[in-house]
Structure 1
Amino acid sequence: MAPFEALYGRKCRTPLCWFESGESVVLGPEIVRQTTEKVKLIREKMKVSQSRQKSYHDKRRKDLEFQEGDHVFLRVTPVTGVGRALKYVADHSHVVPRDDVEVRDNLTIETMPIRIEAREVKKLRGKEIPLVKVVWSGTTGESLTWELESKMRESYPELFA
């Protein structure tokens, strides 16, 4: 049995594979030319695909411009910081007293994780991404966010003891 077949349980379907010792195989210039052409074709298709995806993204993206005095919502998480900004129509019932919230220069606020509420594994493109639901305590009360388990273990190992 050939090493490829032993390892993968099937015969190799390409001319570029392992052979038993003692076998002699000649890979001529034709196979090299064909392989080079296929690699070029694959690269061209990848460039076209990337360009198409970029154009889709650029069409949907809207640059936000803010003026002094505009009100905005900032999506801020304790671990990753500022995410995105959304323009906001002012409503005085939504105002949080400034004395209660201290925003740092890097636009983060002081919060501490209290406990891990739940765990979940998301599957994305064949990869498994472990997440934890964290209960945070801060000046505005408790809040919940889903965070990467690896980042939380690195930043707050005591939560996993």
Structure 2
Amino acid sequence: MGKKKLLGPTVIQAIVDKVNIIRTRLKIAKDRQKSYEDVHRKDLEFKVDDRVFLKLSLWKGVIHFGKRGKLSPHYIGPYEIAERIGPVAYKIDLSEELSRVHDVFHISILCKYISDPSHMLETPDIELKDDLSYEEQPMQILGREEKRLHNKTIPLAKVL
């Protein structure tokens, strides 16, 4: 009682109008989000013999490199790019420890390495004996203190 019935072409026309409104609003939202993303996007491209870091977050729980949990590294490397496979795929020269890992990676897993002399650690010259042992010589005593337990005292020294 009192309900208005829409017939044939008017129902179809109303639905088509609503679908067109939805399509235009979705296109406006998509274009706005694309314009925001285009400002922050930068195209990456590497050459052969460039050095890159390898991102590990995708392998979480599959392969552990040294530490687990919060102290696990986010990137390992640097490694050299051996060849370019496609527009977004690169083959990398990996070390022997990573021989079981496939050596072709997507560009999103790679991070450019900028060489810095502070990244290189200097190893001191150590004189090894015939039995491959060596002597450590303390350079300086930085501090002394005594640790008291219930029934004994332990002398501690901080040595450089």
TM-score norm. by structure 2 comes to 0.35
Report which of the two structures shows the higher radius of gyration computed on alpha carbons: 2
TM-score (norm 1): 0.35
